[in-house]
């Protein structure tokens, strides 16, 4: 089982705005349908944000998550992973609430403060439906995504009694060392799910040497105590994922990280991206994990112990 590749699908996220793609799910019904479709296409884990259904703005209101999480849980056995990243414009207390109240099997956790530049998307997308979208992108050149040591400890300690495991998101090499620091403090326990993020402006680039450097460093810091996964932003999504898989790692795709289904072609759904990476992995002779196999690999508490 350990050599099976876990596919995570990040369904909507907070990076892209609704005007960028008609496929980006916004309403609770759309998010639920997209997550279920991704699971049917082969995702073992779905990573979920929420959006205000009126204008697509990112929200961490737990009640908005409650509008789609039960539907997904009733319709699929997929592992549900809730964000604590939210959006860089939110406070740490606001970002924490869905994972704290809803007690998922998995929650994401960013390992460091960083510049988080989205402004270059304005070179590709010109027309926006909602007033908040353009300023959200424009002002990202002066925005810090705040994740201090105190913030990280606050999330880990707050969720400690929930038995939620964390998708440890590392946007640069230093974030791996921060994760190791919290392992030493006893706040992160093995097996770790280390999600290396490539291609975000402000983090490490998507060059194959960067991917290899992340893997070598994680191996040295965590040994056999972790599972490695990779997401690539934008056009780097598929080739970074494939590199991870052939190096023995796991993969993350989805419209949170990339809107594309191919060169110059927007993806029509999250399921399309999952189906594509699953097909590539199978062509390479690699097996993909089911949700229950992912649960065993990551030693998750089980879908009957969540708060939704």
CA distances from 67 to 32, 62, 72 (A): 9, 9, 10
Distance CA 232, CA 251 (A): 9
Quick check: 276 and 238 in contact, CB under 8 A? yes
Quick check: 51 and 17 in contact, CB under 8 A? no
CATH number where 195 lies = 3.20.20.70
Count of the separate structural domains present in the chain: 1
Two tokens at 81? 């992973």
Determine the structural domain holding residue 142 and report its residue range.
7-305
Q: What is the model's pTM?
A: 0.97
CA distances from 125 to 1, 53, 55 (A): 42, 21, 17
Average of pLDDT values for 147-154?
98
Residues 61-97: tens digit of each pLDDT: 999 999 999 999 999 999 999 999 999 999 999 999 9
Quick check: 172 and 204 in contact, CB under 8 A? yes
pLDDT at 1: 44
Quick check: 7 and 278 in contact, CB under 8 A? yes
Two tokens at 210? 């960067």
pLDDT at 303: 96
Average of pLDDT values for 226-238?
97
Q: Within a domain: residue 251? A: yes
Average of pLDDT values for 147-176?
97
Q: Within a domain: residue 2? A: no
Q: Within a domain: residue 141? A: yes
Total Cβ atoms within 10 A of residue 250: 25
Q: Within a domain: residue 242? A: yes
Residues 109-132: tens digit of each pLDDT: 999 999 999 999 999 999 999 999
């Amino acid at each position: 089982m350990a050599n099976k590749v876990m596919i995570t699908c990040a369904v909507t996220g907070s990076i892209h705005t609704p005007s960028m793609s008609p496929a980006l799910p916004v309403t609770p019904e759309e998010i639920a349908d997209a997550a279920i479709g991704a699971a049917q296409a082969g995702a073992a884990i779905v990573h979920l944000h929420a959006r205000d259904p009126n204008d697509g703005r990112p929200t961490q209101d737990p009640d908005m998550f409650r509008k789609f999480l039960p539907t997904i849980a009733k319709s699929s056995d997929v592992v549900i992973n809730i964000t604590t990243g939210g959006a860089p414009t939110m406070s740490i207390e606001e970002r924490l609430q869905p994972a704290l109240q809803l007690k998922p099997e998995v929650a994401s956790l960013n390992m460091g403060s960083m510049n988080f530049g989205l402004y270059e998307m304005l070179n590709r997308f010109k027309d926006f439906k909602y007033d908040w979208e353009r300023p959200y992108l424009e002002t990202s050149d002066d925005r810090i995504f705040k994740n201090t040591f105190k913030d990280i400890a606050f999330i880990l300690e707050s969720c400690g009694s929930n038995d939620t495991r964390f998708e440890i998101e590392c946007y640069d090499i230093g974030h791996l060392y921060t994760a190791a620091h919290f392992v030493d403090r006893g706040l992160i326990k093995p097996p770790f799910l280390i999600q290396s993020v490539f291609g975000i402006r402000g983090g490490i680039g998507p060059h194959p040497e960067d991917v290899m450097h992340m893997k070598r460093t994680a191996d040295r810091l965590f040994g056999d105590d972790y599972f490695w996964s990779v997401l690539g932003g934008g056009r780097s999504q598929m080739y970074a994922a494939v590199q991870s898989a052939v190096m023995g790692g796991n993969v993350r795709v989805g419209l949170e990280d990339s809107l594309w289904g191919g060169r110059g072609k927007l993806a029509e759904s999250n399921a399309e991206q999952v189906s594509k990476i699953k097909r590539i992995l199978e062509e390479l002779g690699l097996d993909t994990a089911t949700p229950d196999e992912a649960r065993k690999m990551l030693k998750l508490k089980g879908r009957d112990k969540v708060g939704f």
